């Protein structure tokens, strides 16, 4: 499994953990410790994923349009996994 793919999976896990576990505990339960822990981890993984998408584009492994879609896909929870699957399908298609 490539580092790019692993970073997308980790970014997705951190987003889901932040949005659906840590933030509800903060705003409903009044306990913000998980946000203080998961928030910076998520931020670092998000930036890493964006940099890796940019790096893949700079290395010629994806065009600019695909790279922009990849960066936008990093915003919603699960977006990087969706993007990775779309890339894998595109690479598996026979070129004519």
**Which H or E run includes 59?**
none
Spatial CA neighbour of 43 closest among 20, 17, 64, 69? 17
Give the per-residue pLDDT at 92: 81
**How far is residue 16 from each of residues 22, 26, 44, 71, measured CA to CA in Å?**
9, 15, 15, 17
- Give the pLDDT of residue 47: 97
Q: Mention every residue, 6+ apart, whose C-beta is less than 8 A from residue 72.
A: 79
Q: What is the pLDDT of residues 5-64, one digit of tens each?
A: 999 999 999 999 999 999 999 999 999 999 999 999 999 999 999 999 999 999 998 999
Checking if the pLDDT of 95 tops 90, the result is: no
> So what's the pLDDT on residue 79?
94
């Amino acid at each position: 499994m490539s580092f790019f793919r692993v970073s997308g999976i980790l970014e997705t896990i951190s987003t889901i953990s932040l949005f659906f576990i840590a933030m509800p505990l903060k705003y409903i339960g009044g306990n913000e410790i998980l946000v203080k822990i998961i928030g910076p981890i998520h931020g670092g993984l998000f930036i890493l994923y964006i940099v890796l998408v940019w790096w893949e584009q700079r290395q010629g492994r994806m065009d600019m349009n695909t790279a922009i879609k990849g960066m936008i896909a990093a915003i919603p929870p699960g977006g990087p996994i969706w993007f990775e699957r779309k890339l894998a399908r595109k690479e598996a298609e026979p070129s004519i």
